Amino acid sequence: MKKVLMTLMVMFAVVTAYAQEMYLAGGISLWSNHDSEVTTFSISPEFGYGLNEKWSVGGQLILDLRGGDGVVHGTTTTAFAIAPYARYSYYENSIVRLFLDMGFGLSVNKVKDADADAGFELGVKPGIAVKLNDNFSFVSRVGFAGFRQDYRGANNSGFGVGVSGEDISIGIEYSF
């Protein structure tokens, strides 16, 4: 056990010593629609590793909760997704960085008192990062181009390009 733990610590030290940059990011949202009496909560932590100045790899975990009296038959839904990606930064100056997140996502959506449904997406999400200081950035992804099959419980199966409110995310990134 000690050998395994020590080996993992050494591997982590080596990886971080040569790392260009690692980052933690995420977003959180809470929306309450009083007209339809539905409340939605979402949290999406993210971790990434910079391979060089242009390329990064990372992943996002997403948890969506939806409930209220206005939901069909008063049921609640829970969706969980994992979404690894490769990020290509194609423009950067001292303040702004433009990037493309290319990846896929796998999700499971569970409606109370019903079977769980699986879904996935495969595509590209363009984004922008605005540096606030040396460690923090404001990050936003706008739109989606690719294929989705019941991803995160939405009946959104198909291929296309979209910039709807559901395809816009805003968050904070901490680089170290």
Tens-digit pLDDT profile for residues 65-119: 988 776 665 678 899 999 999 999 999 999 999 999 999 999 999 988 888 889 9
- Options 3.90.1640.30, 3.30.70.250, 2.60.120.40, 2.40.160.20; which CATH number does 21-175 get? 2.40.160.20
Residue type, 42: S
Are residues 24 and 47 in contact, defined by beta-carbon separation less than 8 angstroms?
yes
Are residues 97 and 128 in contact, defined by beta-carbon separation less than 8 angstroms?
yes
DSSP 54: S
Beta bridge partners of 63: 43, 80
Give CA–CA dist 118/104, Å, rounded.
14
Query: Of all residues in the chain, what percent carry a pLDDT higher than 90?
Result: 55
Give CA–CA dist 40/22, Å, rounded.
30
Domain boundaries, the chain: 21-175
What pTM was estimated for this model as a whole?
Answer: 0.80
Are residues 127 and 140 in contact, defined by beta-carbon separation less than 8 angstroms?
yes
How high is the pLDDT of residue 30?
A: 85
Q: How far is CA 140 from CA 1, 61, 110, 116, 120, in A?
A: 42, 16, 28, 30, 21
Q: Is residue 172 over pLDDT 90?
A: yes
